[in-house]
Chain A
Amino acid sequence: MAQYSIPVILDIARVSAYLISMDIAKGSLFGQRVDPRWPLRLFLVRRNVEWLQGLDAAHPTLRDTANYLFDLCGGYAARALRIMTAAGVVPGDGSAGGGVVLPTPSPASYTLDFEYLIELSGADFNLTTLTEDGRAAHYDNAKIVGKDLVVMAPDIVQRSLLVGVEWQPTATGIEILIEGFDAATTHLDTRFEIFIKNPDVVLTPTDSSGGSTTGFTYTFPLTLS
């Protein structure tokens, strides 16, 4: 069975580490938590392999250690290979054994008519339509109206904001409910990330009596179950 050369495994580990790190950063979006130590474990082992590779590429233990590094990448190795292939970093660098180039998806590119992630700051909020107590807390964007959202404010709290408690959907976008939040003054530079989880799902908030549409049960303020 062909096996990847050690320089390719090192590249796979580098790419896998950033992929894992990205998934950790977005961890709350996915059902499965990613071990936050995973990229660090990859880093530690990768540094060992790099060190020995630099000194003695034929060292008898190097292959086993590199294989362990590859194993540590888990399912991310395949994603890393796909990225490396797309970037022109051909797995299998001519050394003995070579590698296996995973087939690229067909078609090679997709045209997306939706966004998964919208990044904004306080300055993007509606500064003219204020809340009853005079705060700028509305963000209006037709793309997110009625969508299944996750709202994050990493400058405020390192988790997704609680729907119905810390934010709620409005007819034109969302409203931040966090006490004291005011995009016009104290939170002008506060970063927000709005993830559209299921672009095809349209939620239509109606009233507090609740209802059901497209498989979701909701109340207003919106809570999903």
Chain B
Amino acid sequence: MPITASFTASQTLGLPSIITLTDTSTGSDATVTARRVYLQKADGTYLTPAGILTDYIVWPLDQASIDIDALDRDYALNIVVTHVTASGTAVASAAQLKVFAQHLELFDYTLTENEASDPRIVSDTRYFASRIELRVKLDAAANAIRYGNDIYGAQAMLDKAQFLMDRQNLYF
């Protein structure tokens, strides 16, 4: 039975820089010797962990899942997993558009925790409008992928949310 590539991608709470991929492929192919993972960003470049010089990350066949520590911030990614032969020829591949927004979600959650500790912060000049904007951008990023398969739109929303988080002393 020929190989049909598929995988799942997830994150673990509290580890926003790590993506966990789990292989759910079916079938087999004796010529396959490795898997490659491409984390393609909206601008077409590839995201890789520090120290990896290729566009892809090697995912050994004997590992059912792999943790990739590459998210220095939140990204919308086109994840491609390719099963390749020894010569690097692709035999099967699967791709998924995903939004990884745990940095920003954790930040937003922290804002609520702070608010619970001191609700008066809601009265700060920019606080409330900024929180609304942050939430709208986060939801928009997810919806851009879910409903539009729009990695560019998703990344643009994440960038705007990131802008707020990077300047939290001004906006929150």
B112 within 8 A of A: yes
> How distant is B136 from chain A, measured CB to nearest CB, in Å?
10
Do B113 and A65 have beta carbons less than 8 Å apart?
yes
Do A47 and B135 have beta carbons less than 8 Å apart?
yes
Interface residues on B, range: 10 to 19
Which B residues, 81 to 117, have Cβ-Cβ distances below 8 Å to chain A?
105, 108-109, 112-113, 115-116
Contact among A37, A41, A43, A65 for B109, CB-based, below 8 A: A65
A162 within 8 A of B: no
Closest A-chain residue to B108, C-beta based?
A: A48
Contact among A40, A56, A61 for B113, CB-based, below 8 A: A61
Determine the main DSSP class of A at the interface with B: helix
With A48-B109, A52-B109, A55-B13: A68-B135 Cβ-Cβ less than 8 Å = no
Closest A-chain residue to B134, C-beta based?
A: A44
Q: Give the complex CA separation of A45 and B132 in angstroms.
A: 11
A residues in contact with B122, CB < 8 Å: 37, 41
B105, B108, B116, B122: residue with the most chain A Cβ atoms closer than 10 Å: B116
Do B112 and A65 have beta carbons less than 8 Å apart?
yes
Q: Could you count the A-B residue pairs with CB atoms below 8 Å apart for me: how many are there?
A: 37
> How distant is B148 from chain A, measured CB to nearest CB, in Å?
21
Determine the main DSSP class of B at the interface with A: helix
> How distant is A214 from chain B, measured CB to nearest CB, in Å?
42
User: Chain A 29-45, CB within 8 Å of chain B: the 1/0 string?
Assistant: 00000000100110111
Q: Give the complex CA separation of A43 and B122 in angstroms.
A: 14
> How distant is A35 from chain B, measured CB to nearest CB, in Å?
10
Do B13 and A45 have beta carbons less than 8 Å apart?
no
Do B135 and A64 have beta carbons less than 8 Å apart?
no
Q: Give the complex CA separation of A82 and B170 in angstroms.
A: 42
A residues in contact with B132, CB < 8 Å: 40, 44
B residues in contact with A51, CB < 8 Å: 105, 109
Which B residues, 116 to 163, have Cβ-Cβ distances below 8 Å to chain A?
116, 122, 128, 131-132, 135, 139
With A40-B132, A44-B135: A68-B112 Cβ-Cβ less than 8 Å = yes
Do A56 and B109 have beta carbons less than 8 Å apart?
no
Closest A-chain residue to B10, C-beta based?
A: A55
Which A residues, 110 to 151, have Cβ-Cβ distances below 8 Å to chain B?
none
A residues in contact with B13, CB < 8 Å: 52, 55-56, 59
Q: Which 10 A-B pairs have the closest CB atoms?
A: A68-B116, A55-B13, A48-B112, A56-B13, A48-B109, A45-B112, A44-B131, A44-B135, A51-B105, A65-B112
CB-defined A-B contacts under 8 Å, sample of 11: A41-B122, A44-B112, A44-B132, A47-B135, A48-B109, A51-B109, A55-B13, A56-B13, A65-B113, A68-B112, A68-B115
